[in-house]
Amino acid sequence: MFFTFGGLGFLLGVAFVWALRDGGNGHAGRVPRPSAVQFHNSTISQSLRAYFCNPSALLASGGFIAIVFANNAYLSWAPKFIARKFDLSVGAAGNGTMLYHHLAAFAAIMLGAFLTDAMVKRRPRFRLGLQAVSMLLGAPTLVLIGLSPSVAGVWAAVAAYGDRCAFGQVRRARVRDRVLNSRRRLSLGGGGDRRFVLLDIQKGSGTGMKLGLAMHPEKWSDRHLAMARQLGCETVIAWVPFGAGDGVWHAEDFERIFLQAKKHGLVLEGIENFHPQHIDHVVLDEPGKDEQMANLVQTVSNAGEVGIKCFGYNFSCCGVQGYYSEVNNGDGRGAAAIKKFDEDKVDHSPLPSRRFWFNTEIERRSAVDVLPPTTPEQHWARLKYFLENLCPVAEKYGMKLCAHPDDPPIAYLKGTFRPLTSVEGMRKLLALVDSPANCLEFCQGTVSTMRGIDIYAAIEEFASSGRIGYVHFRNTSGTLPAWRSPSATCAA
């Protein structure tokens, strides 16, 4: 039995190596190679340091060692015990112990993988729960093997012991992922110096992330689109591409810029932000919000008809506030000027009513009033109203509504509450309306500056749940209460 299963495992390994091989001409074999993060080569000492300095990797390895130890003890003890208790030959007892155990283990691995894939999008911590339950099943099933009065009962307990392999199938991946995150930290410079991630885009692979640029309307031209393609981009994001107009962005306008991007070999993957005049009543819960909401529904529908897959938004009346740049500062690489943030230097005086979102002047708003303060309860209620109306139409077109985290990630700015300033806030957003359309515009620069953040754990959590529509890459150094940041941003 040992040689049978071992030989089949060896042949399966050879088949996997052959199926996943790369062709010598740079094209993948049967299975296309996905887009990948390129890592710098690490020395043995760096790899060992990355492993032994990572508590999650050590705990995962400890769990794996424990289950392997228990498994080896079981394989040594069970056949002799069963043979002696039920007067079977050692060969028959060993064959039954191996056969039913491994058949059940195979079923558990397949079922565990299926359940994890199916549930993790809705419950990001489902994998951890499955690991815990599977691990705990091991001890009572061993007891049942010893107490069972019949051979059939023993084989059932042996099979149940094999079911705990659902733990193993996700635990080994967990060890790999945690060490991989440490290697990524080394390749990016580690610590507070979070450099850009370089993505190797496999042309024509159809898998993985696609590099793109977010382009403001003044940069949206054939010249700049051609340059984006020459730089290796495959997609573009149009940032507030049109004016206020009649309150709705129309399908023919979306189609025009979609085809213009296509002419240069680019896909218009998403629109970033509604026009401030289209959303101010909704954000502030003012008279006229229902009319604005109907127009937003029509705008999203029009974008979906053209084939745009992401619509980013920033549900805030302040937008980005509080950054500053010192005159003639040369603190960046090569003495480049950079912008900075310091929580102690933030001006919290209320904004004039007309200056809604990024200091946009909306003339129809009061020239004398200020934007009112908001409480957490008020802001979450308004955000829920927004999502409950837009998610159904976005779902209809397979579109993702992508919320940008609050930048800077401080809980109150200009007297208004800001909900997306922590991992907990982003989790609450995704739970607010249960819809595949309710996603994040994961600004790595903003998230990496959150207080006490583990950026790699945050990426793993939200990416594994399938709730990231697209990503902003921005090179920040430091976390709250102060950090530095270049102004350049790219999207993927």
Question: Could you report the per-residue pLDDT of 243-302, keeping only the tens digit for each?
Answer: 999 999 999 999 999 999 999 999 999 999 999 999 999 999 999 999 999 999 999 999
End-to-end CA distance of the chain: 50
Q: Give the per-residue pLDDT at 43.
A: 66
The structural domains of the chain, ordered by start, are 2-12+38-187 (no CATH), 199-491 (3.20.20.150)
In this structure, are residues 293 and 384 in contact, taking their beta carbons and an 8 Å threshold? no
The region of weakest confidence among 157-166, 308-317, 431-440 is: 157-166
| 145 backbone φψ class: left, alpha, beta (φ>0; ψ -120 to 50) | alpha
Q: Give the per-residue pLDDT at 275.
A: 96
**395 alpha-carbon distance from chain centroid:** 19
Q: Give the per-residue pLDDT at 180.
A: 44
**458 alpha-carbon distance from chain centroid:** 7
Long-range contacts of 115-121 (CB under 8 A, 24+ apart): 115/166, 116/170, 120/464, 120/465, 120/466, 121/436, 121/465, 121/466, 121/467
- Is the pTM above the cut of 0.75? no
Can you name the residues that pair with 73 across neighbouring β-strands?
none
Taking only the tens place, the pLDDT of each residue in 208-227 is 688 899 999 999 999 999 99
Q: How confident is the model at residue 178 (pLDDT cuts 50, 70, 90)?
A: very low
Q: Give the per-residue pLDDT at 491.
A: 55
For the beta carbon of residue 361, count every other beta carbon within 10 angstroms: 10
Report the mean per-residue pLDDT for the chain: 80
**282 alpha-carbon distance from chain centroid:** 28
Taking only the tens place, the pLDDT of each residue in 15-29 is 766 765 544 333 333
Q: How confident is the model at residue 373 (pLDDT cuts 50, 70, 90)?
A: very high
Q: How confident is the model at residue 86 (pLDDT cuts 50, 70, 90)?
A: confident
Residue 474 has pLDDT above 90, yes or no: no
Residue 329 has pLDDT above 60, yes or no: yes
The region of weakest confidence among 126-135, 273-282, 367-376, 477-486 is: 126-135
User: How many residues in the chain?
Assistant: 492
Q: Give the per-residue pLDDT at 261.
A: 96
More confident residue, 361 or 250: 250
- Preceding omega of 408 cis (within 30 degrees of 0): yes
The region of weakest confidence among 67-71, 296-300, 364-368, 412-416 is: 67-71
Q: Give the per-residue pLDDT at 1.
A: 59
DSSP string of 318-340? S-S--EE--TT---SGGG---EE
Residue 75 has pLDDT above 70, yes or no: yes
> Residue 112: phi, psi to the nearest 5?
-60, -40
CA distance 262 to 260: 5
Q: Give the per-residue pLDDT at 2.
A: 63
Q: Give the per-residue pLDDT at 190.
A: 29
